[in-house]
Amino acid sequence: MNQDSKYTDFGFKQIPIEQKEQLVAEVFDSVAKKYDLMNDILSFGIHRSWKKHTINCSGVKEGDRVLDLAGGTGDFTEKFSKLVGKSGEVTLSDINASMLNEGKTRLLNKGIVGNVRFVQANAEQLPFPDNYFDIIVISFGLRNVTNKDKALQEMHRVLKLGGRALVLEFSKPTNQLLETAYNIYSFQLLPLIGKVVANDAGSYQYLAESIRKHPDQETLKQMMLDAGFNQVGYQNLTGGITALHRGFKF
């Protein structure tokens, strides 16, 4: 898609670019309350191992500043908060107030305070100074951003020299048989489960479509390079159903 055009993708639909932010907001307003439960059900719990691997690849250390971008209900923030310690800082940021409130409530109920702050923000216009964060993680959020190139440029801007950005996102399966099975699951079972568990088939139909419209592994790698990141690489997880991209700022 041409990011400069007047239209953009919302799943498989083409819509006026100015409408996407609101439509995505409506999706996540709808799914916020059962977001964590649905992640466990829909991924059979595998998303936890993807996220654990991402943290292991982050190089996080005590005293680091971490941005959990599009962090939703805060599962990354919870883990990073413990790893950066009292001298560190974790910022949970999401454009969607419903998701951010779920994350804030969840973390406060677990007693995770002190080194965590909550900021509602658009990934395309981050309200942070240049060269501020040691680590930025965006997990299953980039595909919902209207202008992905701009978001990546903003991530690069607020990252410190020597810092790293990690993008965990659904991607393109590397095996044809797996891709066929994944398509059947995504377009037939996923909306059905969404209807039964969350009473919302439409939002999960959109989520399945948004995955297919997201750039594949090599395309996203090039986008990160174009945004200014160095030494960009990626690792396929679960046969490419997801991919973890990493880039550095030098």
Smallest CA-to-CA distance from 111 within 84, 78, 83, 63 is with 78
State yes or no: 94 annotated in a binding site: yes
Angle formed at CA 136 by CA 210 and CA 214, multiple of 5 degrees:
15
Amino acid at 113: V
Measure the CA–CA gap between 191 and 159, rounded to whole angstroms.
Answer: 37
Which residues are CB-contacts of 52 (< 8 A; sequence separation ≥ 6)?
none
Rounded CA separation 183/37 (Å): 22
> Is 144 marked as a binding-site residue?
no
Using CA atoms of 150, 153, 154, 156 in order, give the dihedral in degrees to the nearest 10: 160
DSSP H or E run through 93 = strand 89-94
Residue with tokens 């095996």: 175
Instruction: Give the integer Cα–Cα distance in Å for 125 and 151.
Output: 7
Question: What is the radius of gyration, based on Cα positions, of the chain?
Answer: 17
DSSP 229: -
227 labelled ligand-binding: no
Residue type, 6: K
Could you please report the per-residue DSSP string of 62-95?
A: TT-EEEEET-TT-HHHHHHHHHH-TT-EEEEEES
Annotated binding site: 73, 94, 122-123, 139
Annotated binding site for S-adenosyl-L-methionine: 73, 94, 122-123, 139
